[in-house]
Amino acid sequence: MSFSFSPGMGPRGAIHRLGSAEQEGRFFNRRVVAEMLRFLRPYSRRMAAAVLLMVLVTGLTLLTPYLIKVAIDEYITPGRTQGLAAISLWTAGAFLALYAATAGQQFLLSWIGQRVLADLRRALFEHLQALSMNFHDRTIAGVTVSRVINDVAVINDLLTQGLVSLVGDLLVLAGIVVVMLSMSPQLAALTFVTIPLMVLVTQVFSNHARRAFRETRTSVAQVVGRLAENIDGMRVIQAFAQEDRAQEQFEDVNRVNRDANIAAIRLSFIFLPGIEFLGTLAVATVLFFGGRWVVQGEVTLGVLVAFMAYVTRFFQPIQELSRIFTTMQSAMAGGEQVLRLLDQRPEVTDRPDGHPAADIRGAIELREVSFRYRPDTPLVLQEVDLHIAAGQTVALVGPTGAGKSSIIRLIARFYDASQGAVLVDGRDVRDYAQRSLRGQMGLIPQDPFLFSGTIEENIRFGRPEAGMEAVRAAARMANVDDFVRRLPEGYRTRILEGAVNLSVGQRQLICIARAALTDPRILILDEATASVDTVTEVLIQQALDRLMAGRTAVVIAHRLSTIRNADLICVVDGGRIVEQGGHDELLARRGVYWRLQQVRG
Ligand code: ADP
């Protein structure tokens, strides 16, 4: 793992980019909604059921105050006790049904919500795996994590709770208006007087809230980003004794996030009582005027009581709507980010008629290959020509940054050449089905990366179906078997994160076994530079020699023994192959190779 601290790519750069991206949330983005609705489609039946329940809830919400009105006007006021029991039971039944329907609807929505959430994350993960290295080069892992976790969650809120409550609230609102108008136009008009005031307050709140909530979202992403980066770089931080500075930097973003949250909370706690108060004002107004009208016989007592209930319910959806409004906004912002991720197309793609690389011999050719990582960056390889016969071992040597890794990345087709072509067995790598070609290649990275899991699972990584015998054979061949058997849990030993419970040499050996198990035709090896003890060194060399025998091998070589044993040495410098030949031949030339060996001492 290498750490780059170039400006703009560091944590601050990442946060800045993230911050500016967050600004784009709009109230409504048709494409986001349309794309995201697709994720609801598999659950359309349950969604329909939830909508039906919502209509039921609306109906019952409207019905219950009406039942109370009937009880008062037709039984209590005229002094009729007979039938009062029935209407009371009806009222109780209506409330019961209302609660049941509400619970059912909520449960359904949460159920659908969790499914959609998991589906969205699965789709994103699948997509991330399909994206080429170019994407992963440009993107900070923490930011992607935040997309898959946070943004997806807000979209889910919108799809399930948000949209349904929006429709439900509008229905209730419309229903109440109709019922109020038909019961008593006077009282209805009185209630509606407060609406403009309510809308005004909500509007003011929304404007502030939008800013506040955006601030909280941006700052939480910063906290996540900072945290991820620091955990990743913990060894470096500790090694350079920079804990205090890291702590300070973390506290900075943490504080910003805390204050943003408190500001948003403060806003809510000003707004909500404000709205409540307006609601109470409306109730008091209705009570005052309605009370007089009841006394004057203009409206019945039942109507007044029912109205009180309706007025309270009337303001609920209005409050809800402003909440949904904020949900919509963050969901749109989140949705845009997720869409942007889904819009990324892999740069390395398969042709529809990709050739299967089933039984290749393993000849490799680079034909006038020029390469740049991005259109706006300089060429890192220039007109490189290289022929590797099947079964040959080629050592790439040269100073850091010369382009050696870029060459092997092109052979493994993590990237495509900008000009020229890479050929395997005389066929352009772009004509092969990508995965089948990779299946023929074994990669041993410089940093011996192991996944969490057991040693056995790690060896089996490239061929999950391999039996224990095959695993053991590969392990024996890679000198893994001996030390694994001495471990109390043998092949079942769990590898801790960062494989800290294994030595660097052991990790390298396991990586060799992993590559050996897939029996690749072509080996791509970025020789580790980390020094290991001499015994392990010999074990590694032996394992590699066995593995390379009979296969084509391209090695970024650092050990002199590897270099000397190669069939061909290619000296890479400044993006070109400047010398080729055998060890003695190159030394005799007294060129770059000779100088490199001088430096080596
Ligand atoms: P070597 O393996 O010989 O040390 P590389 O092939 O890694 O050299 O690098 C060659 C050049 O390409 C360097 O200038 C390096 O900065 C650049 N480079 C390497 N990887 C990337 C990348 N993922 N994105 C952009 N530039 C890169």
Please tell me the distance from the alpha carbon of residue 405 to that of residue 121, in angstroms, as a whole number: 32
Burial of 74 (C-beta count, 10 Å sphere; 0-12/13-18/19+)? middle
Q: Which two tokens stand for residue 160?
A: 């399930």
Rg (C-alpha) for the chain, rounded Å, is 35
Say how many Å lie between the CA of residue 329 and the centre of ligand 1.
41
Say how many Å lie between the CA of residue 446 and the centre of ligand 1.
14
Please tell me the distance from the alpha carbon of residue 59 to that of residue 366, in angstroms, as a whole number: 73
Q: Is the minimum distance from the CB of 2 to ligand 1 under 6 angstroms?
A: no
Half-sphere exposure (Cβ direction) of 55: Cα atoms closer than 13 Å? 5
136-176 per-position pLDDT tens digit:
777 767 667 777 777 788 778 777 777 778 888 888 889 98
* pLDDT of 601: 56
Of 462 and 333, more confident: 462
* pLDDT of 140: 66
Provide the percentage of residues in the chain whose pLDDT is more than 70. 94
Please tell me the distance from the alpha carbon of residue 180 to that of residue 70, in angstroms, as a whole number: 15
Q: Which two tokens stand for residue 367?
A: 């034909």
* pLDDT of 1: 32
Q: Are 459 and 513 in contact (CB under 8 A)?
A: yes
Q: Is the minimum distance from the CB of 373 to ligand 1 under 6 angstroms?
A: yes
Kindly give the number of the ligand 1 atom that is closest to the alpha carbon of 407. Answer: 6
* pLDDT of 591: 87
pLDDT higher than 80, residue 362: yes
Which helix (H) or strand (E) segment holds residue 79: the answer is none
Say how many Å lie between the CA of residue 415 and the centre of ligand 1.
12
pLDDT higher than 90, residue 342: no
* pLDDT of 236: 82
Kindly give the number of the ligand 1 atom that is closest to the alpha carbon of 134. Answer: 23
Of 149 and 386, more confident: 386
1-36 per-position pLDDT tens digit:
333 323 333 333 333 333 333 444 456 778 888 887
pTM for this model (two decimals):
0.72
Q: For atom 14 of ligand 1, which residue has the closest CA? A: 401
Please tell me the distance from the alpha carbon of residue 151 to that of residue 163, in angstroms, as a whole number: 17
* pLDDT of 18: 35
Task: Find the mean pLDDT for residues 97-108.
Answer: 93
pLDDT higher than 50, residue 400: yes
Say how many Å lie between the CA of residue 236 and the centre of ligand 1.
22
Secondary structure (DSSP) of 266-320:
HHHHHHHHHHHHHHHHHHHHHHHHHHHHHHTTSS-HHHHHHHHHHHHHHHHHHHH
Range with lowest mean pLDDT among 37-51, 250-264, 269-283: 269-283
Q: Which of 380, 382, 397, when mutated, tests ligand 1's pocket best, judged by the most ligand atoms within 8 Å of its CB?
A: 380
* pLDDT of 27: 65
Say how many Å lie between the CA of residue 413 and the centre of ligand 1.
15
Which neighbouring-strand residues pair with 364?
388, 424
> What is the identity of the amino acid at 63?
L
Say how many Å lie between the CA of residue 451 and the centre of ligand 1.
25
Q: Is the minimum distance from the CB of 372 to ligand 1 under 6 angstroms?
A: no
